[in-house]
Amino acid sequence: MKEIKKTACQYVSGGIYPSESGWRHLPFDGWKSQMLEGLTPDIIEILEGYGVEIESIDWEENYKLYLNMVPA
């Protein structure tokens, strides 16, 4: 469980920030695409606890993970 939380925190510290409007679409590409390989339901649950809503995962186009984040 500790490793799962660490991985989830890497997503959060990787640049998921709320915008002034409260929502931000953030493409995860480049090195961050490697983190998608470890994306599990447990990690998704923790991310949602941080206020992250996973909108879609585009596996075809550079492994982009589009997220929304609501400020806590």
Instruction: Give per-residue pLDDT as tens, 55-69.
Output: 555 555 444 444 544
Question: For 11-59, how does the pLDDT look when each residue is reduced to its tens digit (9 = 90+)?
Answer: 554 444 444 444 344 444 444 444 555 566 776 777 777 666 665 555 5
- Helix or strand holding residue 57 (H, E): strand 52-58
pLDDT value, residue 38: 57
Sheet with 64-69: strands ordered across: 26-27, 64-69, 52-58
Query: Can you give the pLDDT at residue 25?
Result: 41
Please, which pLDDT band fits residue 3 given cuts at 50, 70 and 90? low
pLDDT of 70 over the 70 cut: no
Strand partners, 66: 27, 56
Q: Dihedral angle at the C-alpha atoms of 15, 65, 34, 32, nearest 10 degrees?
A: -20
Helices and strands in the chain: count of H runs, count of E runs = 3, 3
